Amino acid sequence: MPHSHCSDNHDCDHSSDETGILYNLFEKIDKENLECLNESIEGSGKTVFKPWDKRLDTENFVQSDADEELLFNIPFTGNVKLKGIRIASEDSANHPKKLRLFKNRPNMTFDDIAMEPDQVFELQIDSEGMHEYAPKVVTFSSVSHLTMHFPTNFGADSTKIYYIGLKGEWSPGHKHGVTICTYEARPNLDDHKLKHLDSVTRHID
């Protein structure tokens, strides 16, 4: 007979629903321009950014190819205040061991990863994405592009990831600087012209 595991305690359902609502930044990723370097199957890296309730889906995953490294270049459709990261993988040596984050450095390659990251996380083996990693609030308060580098795992030849969840706030980007500068420059030119005419008038008198 069908039954609910939470029939006597609804907190688990509410908690899961709330987490799903918070981890919704996958909707704000520019999926067309998202890229994953060293993925064994082209385009598979995009599939791990999915809804919270799909995090245990093992049909869609990304696995590294030549070695254990994976590098994600993630452009957003606006500005993001990144507040949380969750990762789900296998309960095995294929699970990534470390995560290096880079803010607003588009189109990074493996030639660029020698530079200092903005933050580093030592990861736990987590097959359900239950552990949350908290980015520095000040550093990741205005992110238009996020690079995630997974340099190593727990000893396997390749790294496998089923789910990457991103929590935070999104706002549209603004570009008004040029317009303001042009507007402010015009009155100055007019002032010079008026002064010139005044001096001519005084000379004629």
| Segment 36-61, tens digit of pLDDT | 999 999 999 999 999 999 999 999 99
- Tokens 């520095």, located at residue: 136
Q: What is the mean pLDDT of residues 62-90?
A: 97
* The predicted structure's pLDDT at residue 129: 96
CATH code, domain with 81: 2.60.120.470
Residues 193 and 107 in one domain: no
Q: Are residues 150 and 205 in the same domain?
A: no
Domain hosting residue 37, numbered range:
29-174
Same-domain status, 163 and 67: yes
Q: Which structure tokens are listed for 203?
A: 């000379």
166 and 194 within one domain: no
Does residue 65 carry a pLDDT above 80? Answer: yes
pLDDT recorded at residue 173:
80
Among candidates 115, 11, 111, which has minimal Cα distance to 69?
A: 111
Residues 169 and 179 in one domain: no
Is the pTM value of this prediction over 0.85?
no
DSSP-assigned states of every residue in the chain: ----TTSS-THHHHHHHHHHHHS-GGGGB-TTT-EEETBSSTTGGGGGS--GGGTT--SS-EEBSSSS-EEEEEEEEEEEEEEEEEEE--SSTTSB-EEEEEES-TT--TTTTTSPPSEEEEPPP-SS----B---TTTTSSEEEEEEEE--BSS-SS-EESEEEEEEEEE-----HHHHHHHHHHHHHHHHHHHHHHHHHHHH-
Q: What is the pLDDT of residues 170-182, one digit of tens each?
A: 999 865 444 444 4
Q: Which of 151, 144, 1 is nearest to 71 (CA)?
A: 151
Instruction: Give the other-Cβ count within 10 Å of 90's Cβ.
Output: 19
Per the structure, how many domains does the chain have? Answer: 2
Same domain? For 63 and 135 the reply is yes
C-beta of residue 73 within 8 angstroms of C-beta of residue 31: no
- In 3D space, the residue among 175, 141, 169 whose CA is nearest the CA of residue 28 turns out to be 169
Same-domain pairing of 192 and 161: no
Residue 39 lies in a domain: yes
Of 46, 43, 52, nearest to 129 by C-alpha is 52
Instruction: Give the integer Cα–Cα distance in Å for 90 and 69.
Output: 16
Q: What's the whole-number mean pLDDT along residues 21-47? A: 97
Beta-bridge mates of residue 87: 164
Co-location of 156 and 115 in the same domain = yes
Partner residues linked to 100 by β-bridges: 120, 149
Average pLDDT over every residue of 186-202:
48
Side chain identity at 96, as an amino acid letter?
P
- Is 8 inside a domain boundary? no
